[in-house]
Chain A
C-alpha cells in the first residue's frame, strides 16, 4: 500500500506574539517509514505536531494525506487520521490500563454512547500486540514510565489511524526502555504500514531507528532525507552548535560530541 503525508509551507505564530514558530515548514514522508523530527528545544517540533492534529490552527500552508487536504477536517475525523502519543504525563485519576486504551476509541464512539464490544476487542488486541496484556487491570498511575509509554502507544493504535505522531517518546525513560519503545515503534510501522513521525532529542537514536530525518531549526526545515545524509558533522554544528564527529562502525553510524577539556 502506498501513501504519504505532505506538508507544504506550513506557518504558525501564537496570537500573542509576532514571532513565527513555524516559518514555512515543508516535508513529505511515506507510509511504512519511521521519520524522526530532530531539532533543538524551541525549534517548533511540538508545535508542528499540534498543527497536524488540529490542536492549533495553522496560519498558512497546506497539509495533505495521500493528496487530500485534511486541515479542515472536524476533530473526530482528524483523530481517525492522526493518533498522538503524548509526552509522559500523569492523569488526575488512576484509571485502569484498559480504560486508558479504550479512550483511543473515542473518534468512533458517538457522544451519547459507551464503548461497544468491538471497541473492547480492539483495545484488548492492541494490548496483546504490544505484549502488555498483563497490565490490563492495573491502575495506569501505578505502572512504570516505560510501561506507561507502551500503554499510550496502545491507545494510539486503538485509534486505528494511519499516521502515528510520537512526541519525544524516549523522554524520561531509562536506556533499556528507550530502546524498547523505539524497537516497538519500528516493528509496528513495518507490520501495520503506518506513517510514524516522532520528535527525538538524541541524533543517535534517529540514526538507529529512523528511515527519514526532518531536521528543524528556528521554525524551518534545515535538511531532510535519509539519516546518514542529514545527520552530518556540519548539520550538527549548525543546529546544535556543538562540534561532533561521526564514527562509522560495522555499518552503524554514531554521533560523538568532541569533548572540550
Chain B
C-alpha cells in the first residue's frame, strides 16, 4: 500500500515540469489574458500560418516558452548534478554550487566572453569547472577520509578564489562587455534565446546520459571507496566519469544562465524525503523536480515585482535556510559520516 502511494507521488513528480511549464506560460509582464494565450496556442496548432508575426505569439513562444524550457533544463542539470555529487562524495551537504563548480565555470565564461571570443564559452567553462571540483576534492582530502564539513569549507575556498578571479576579469574587461557579464553572473534567464536552449540541451543529454545509465552504481559508491571495492566496484574509475559528465552539463548550464545556487542541494533532499535515497529513482526524480522547481522559481522571480529579478536570488533565499535546516538536523541523515 505504502509502495503504491509512493508510485503515485513519483508519477506526480515526473509530470511536475510539464505542469509548472504550462502554468508559467500564462504569467508575465506583458499582460496577455489567459484565454488569449490558449487561443494563440490552439490556433497555431490548427492553422500554422496564423499569428506567425503577431506580438502575442512572439511573447508566448519566443519569450515565455523559451525561458521556461531553459529554466527546466538548467534546473534538471543542477539537481541531477547535486544528487550525483552528494552520492559520490557521500556528502549530503554538497551541490555544484557549494563545490565551487559554478564559480569555476563562471570564471571560464567571463574570460571567454571578455578576452577570447574565438574560444567556445562552454568549453572554457567546462575546463574551469573541472579544475574547480578537482581542487575542492583535493583540498578536502586529508588522508583516507573526507569529512563532509571539510569538503564544504574547501568548496567555499575554491569559490572565493574563482570569484576573485572573476572580479579581476571585470576590472580588465571592455566596459561594453562588463554590463553583460555582471548581469549574467547574477543568475537569470532573462536573456534566454533558442540558441542557448539548444546548447544547454545538448550538454544536458551528453552529460546526464551516463549519469542516468550508471545511477544504480551510485548506491554502491556511496557506501565508501573501500567498501565499494570489496563489492567489485572500482570507485576511482567511476569518479572520473561521474565528475566529467555532470561537470560538463553543469558548466554549460552556467554559461547560459549564470550562477544559480542551492537548487542542486535542496531538490535531491526533498526528493529523498518523498521517494527514498535509492539513486535508481533519485536521479530521474531529481531531474524532474529540479526542472519544475526552477521553472516556478523563475516565474516568481519575473512576476514578483515589476522588475525581472535574477532567479539566483530566489533560489538563494530559499536555499540558505534549507542548508541551515540540514546542518541542524544532522544526525538523522548522519552526514557526519
Contact of B233 among A106, A113, A141 (CB under 8 A): A106
Q: What A residues does B272 contact at CB under 8 A?
A: 93
Give the distance to chain B from A58, nearest Cβ to Cβ, in Å: 15
For the complex, give the distance between the alpha carbons of A54 and B236 in Å. 14
Q: Interface residues of A toward B: which range?
A: 35 or more
Q: Give residues 109-131 of A contacting B (CB, 8 Å).
A: 109, 111-115
Structural contact, B226 and A55, CB atoms closer than 8 A: yes
Structural contact, A92 and B337, CB atoms closer than 8 A: yes
Q: What B residues does A75 contact at CB under 8 A?
A: 229, 232-234
For the complex, give the distance between the alpha carbons of A50 and B92 in Å. 28
Structural contact, B231 and A115, CB atoms closer than 8 A: no
Give the distance to chain A from B40, nearest Cβ to Cβ, in Å: 43
For the complex, give the distance between the alpha carbons of A76 and B219 in Å. 16
For the complex, give the distance between the alpha carbons of A77 and B234 in Å. 12
For the complex, give the distance between the alpha carbons of A109 and B231 in Å. 11
Residues A96 and B232 in contact in the complex (CB < 8 Å), given A50-B226, A106-B217, A106-B220: no
The main secondary structure of chain B at its interface with chain A is: loop
For the complex, give the distance between the alpha carbons of A80 and B223 in Å. 18
Structural contact, A93 and B229, CB atoms closer than 8 A: no
Q: Which of A83-91, A184-192, A219-227, A229-237 binds B?
A: A83-91
Q: What B residues does A104 contact at CB under 8 A?
A: 231
Contact of B278 among A50, A91, A99, A159 (CB under 8 A): A99
Give the distance to chain A from B205, nearest Cβ to Cβ, in Å: 16
Structural contact, B333 and A54, CB atoms closer than 8 A: no
Contact of A82 with B by CB under 8 A: yes
Q: Which residue of A lies closest to B219 (CB)?
A: A103
Q: What A residues does B234 contact at CB under 8 A?
A: 75
Structural contact, B232 and A114, CB atoms closer than 8 A: no
For the complex, give the distance between the alpha carbons of A159 and B337 in Å. 25
Contact with B along A20-63 (1 / 0, CB 8 A): 00000000000000000000000000000010011100000000
For the complex, give the distance between the alpha carbons of A91 and B333 in Å. 9
Q: Which residue of A lies closest to B279 (CB)?
A: A93
8 A-B pairs besides A92-B86, A92-B334 with CB distance below 8 A are: A79-B233, A86-B230, A89-B224, A91-B334, A106-B231, A109-B216, A111-B217, A111-B238
By a beta-carbon cutoff of 8 Å, the part of chain A in contact with chain B is: 50, 53-55, 75-80, 82-84, 86, 89-96, 99, 102-104, 106-107, 109, 111-115, 141, 159
